[in-house]
Structure 1
Amino acid sequence: MVGTDDFAVATVSFDTDEVAIPRTIRFWLLLLLDIPSIICTFFILYHLLIDRNLRWQLNNHSTIILLLFGLTIQLIDIPLNLDFIANSGRVRPSNSILCRFWWIVDIGFYNGITIIMAWSAFERHILVFRDQWVSTRRKRFLLHYLPLIILLCYIYIFYVMVIFFPPCQNRYNYTLPVCNNFPCYLHDPILGKWDSCVNNILPTVLISLFVVTLVHRVYRQKRRLNQPIQWRKQRKLIIQLVPISVLYLIVNIPLNFLIFVHLCGVLEQSGGDVQLTFDFLGYLLILSFPFVNLASISELRKKTSLQRLFSMRTQRRVATTAHTCKL
């Protein structure tokens, strides 16, 4: 492990410049993807919250939280990035309050998604193989609602404390996106490593582990029991989890590998461009998240399918033809 001074030097080398992607390309990518992504998020949230059957499904609760976290990034973080580019690379208004709120959204909410997704992957094992553990109201509170409440409180308290009440002096660079996106607590040998290891690396490893073992367990059970009804239920729960997790891991495994190597003192003066690129890909991940969700939730997929649209048009034609014949 590296010492405090080495840790500070290693960390700064990753966030002292902008990503190599030209600003114009970044601007149009974010703008053209953000608007439909926001619309898609509101569409999914509307149905998950209004439809009673969807609202009461336990597997949808973590999805709602993930979508709300992502929506905050879509409505605050990305517009601030667009404004930064539109102002020729200047954060406006250039004050510490904006920077701290931007850090909360950019760092806290993104890492919050990682933590909630790790819990969702673990909970899916319970819902698929041990659904009797959540068969009563008391069990559901202890094994479903309480863990989510604890995790949400932890995410909120941790990032508010380290960003608004840090044990150090924050420095802001108004000529870099997200005010350089580097709160001073990341220099701290305890808080910085805790955030990197516990809030980033560990959840990513757990997501990978839980998803792989879930698919393996379901496949083994399907071959052993050969029960079509049970398999359809398990398949639905897997389809909702796996595509989202795989999409997330494509970006976060390389990113967290860089963080881990960086914590070990390697690549102190290099690798920054790669990490900045994956940081930007994180935005594209958030923007694509609603569309993957929409495709993975069967009840919502049916509402937007071309087959349904074609069926509605066919019914209208039949009704019109029948009405004409009567006349």
Structure 2
Amino acid sequence: MGSFPSTLTSVPSYWPTVSFSLLLLGQILSIPCYFFVGYHIIFEKSSRKALHNHVIVILLFYNFLGITFDLSLTLDYDRVGYVSLFSPTLCRFWQLVDNGIWYGGIYLMMWASFERHILVFHSNFVRTKRQLLLIHYIPLIFFALYAPLLYIYLIFFYPCDEDFDSTVDLCGGMCFYATIPNWFLVYDSFVDYTIPILLIVVFSITLLLRFIRQKQRLQQAVTWRQCRKMTIQLTLVSATYLMFDLPYVIIFLVQTCGYPDFGSNVIMPYIGDLTFVPAIVLPYATLMALPGLKQKLRNLFFWKRHQRQIVPLTTRT
């Protein structure tokens, strides 16, 4: 994903099979959870109206596209060695999901990690309709649409000669790379990926520290349980970005500073596909933070018999 330099290196023969199996298992297990959590948030009135769930709904949708469309095509390519459903239209949408939608999810996660500070510690900032519009809805719409709209233009409308290749992952590189100014490539690497990932880490760690520091004060408030769940949810999702995206960012930054081979022989072959992991973990982190979901999930798997009430014959009419 993204526009980072890569170096082909030798990896253990078993690693592609291990990576493929883990991603496939994660995909199979996460898809039902996406449906379950999404249905609950959309059709449960209290969850649908909760401000902190608005960004989660869009984030779930974006990552669901990544899990079902992008990851499926990636796994199929890894399995057969070519794009089996090859067509220019498919290639364009694959590149859009792999870049525009994926970057959009990162921007949304960055905004969610910042907005949690407002919702947990400064809820008075979103009391009025005007405050909600300026502080909640406008930033949410901007961060949700910026990257997808940018890549819709670059992939579908930017003037360049397309040359899709069925033997290359993602049908080859996006054609605008050949003619677009170099400053945009730098901008794309830093502004669309590196900086948001670093900000996710910073905002999430500071939120956790502030939460621990003010735990006693929050515990005296009615909203203590909800604040705790919002913090746990964000911490779990952010931890996956910390584990699987931050090393990639660090490698890129070091390589950009003049060490192009740094990390390529050890980390780069193992990190690329694992950037799907945050999308696999997201519905489970959301599941843990939404009220009543765990009990409903148990009821799906453990059916309880309801005792029939037998009405005595003497009371019947």
State the TM bucket, normalised to the shorter chain.
0.7 to 0.9
1:147 equivalent in alignment to 2:139: yes
Give the partner amino acid of 1:265: G
**Would the alpha carbon gap of residues 230 and 71 (structure 1) be closer, same or farther in structure 2, given more than 3 Å must change?**
closer
Greater Cα offset, 182-191 or 53-62: 182-191
Greater Cα offset, 110-119 or 156-165: 156-165
Identity of aligned residues (%): 33
Which consecutive residues of structure 2, in runs of 5 or more, have no partner in the other structure? none
Q: Which structure shows the higher helix fraction?
A: 1
Give the partner amino acid of 2:57: I
Give the partner amino acid of 1:144: H
What's the Cα RMSD here?
A: 3.2
TM-score between the two structures when normalised by the length of structure 2: 0.84
Match of 2:185, SS state, is helix
Distance 1:211 1:302 in 2: 28
**Post-superposition CA distance 1:238-275 (Å, at most 9, x none):** 12211111122211110111121222231248616632
Q: How far apart are 1:183 and its partner, in Å?
A: 5.5
Distance 1:18 1:174 in 2: 23
1:261 equivalent in alignment to 2:261: no
1:121 equivalent in alignment to 2:113: yes
Identify the residue that residue 130 of structure 1 maps to in structure 2: 122
Distance 2:155 2:297 in 1: 41
- Counterpart of 2:50 (choices 52, 57, 71) is 57
Q: How far apart are 1:163 and its partner, in Å?
A: 2.7
Number of residues paired by the alignment?
A: 310
Give the partner amino acid of 1:211: S
Distance 1:222 1:23 in 2: 44
Give the partner amino acid of 2:129: R
Identify the residue that residue 112 of structure 1 maps to in structure 2: 104
Structure-to-structure mapping, 1:1-327, within 5 angstroms: 12=5, 14=6, 23-86=16-79, 88-166=80-158, 169=161, 172-180=164-172, 184-185=176-177, 188-223=181-216, 227-268=220-261, 271=264, 274-305=267-298, 313=304, 316=306, 319=307, 323=310
TM-score between the two structures when normalised by the length of structure 1: 0.82
**Would the alpha carbon gap of residues 263 and 189 (structure 1) be closer, same or farther in structure 2, given more than 3 Å must change?**
farther
Contact 2:55–2:108 under 8 Å retained in 1: yes
Q: How far apart are 1:116 and its partner, in Å?
A: 0.4
Contact 1:19–1:280 under 8 Å retained in 2: no
**Would the alpha carbon gap of residues 233 and 29 (structure 1) be closer, same or farther in structure 2, given more than 3 Å must change?**
closer
Distance 1:178 1:208 in 2: 29
Which consecutive residues of structure 1, in runs of 5 or more, have no partner in the other structure? 1-9
Bigger relative contact order, structure 1 or 2 (CA pairs below 8 A, ≥6 apart): 1
Q: How far apart are 1:323 and its partner, in Å?
A: 4.5
Give the partner amino acid of 1:176: V
**Post-superposition CA distance 1:267-289 (Å, at most 9, x none):** 24861663242121112332232
Distance 2:275 2:10 in 1: 15
Q: How far apart are 1:141 and its partner, in Å?
A: 1.4
Contact 2:94–2:170 under 8 Å retained in 1: yes
Match of 2:259, SS state, is coil
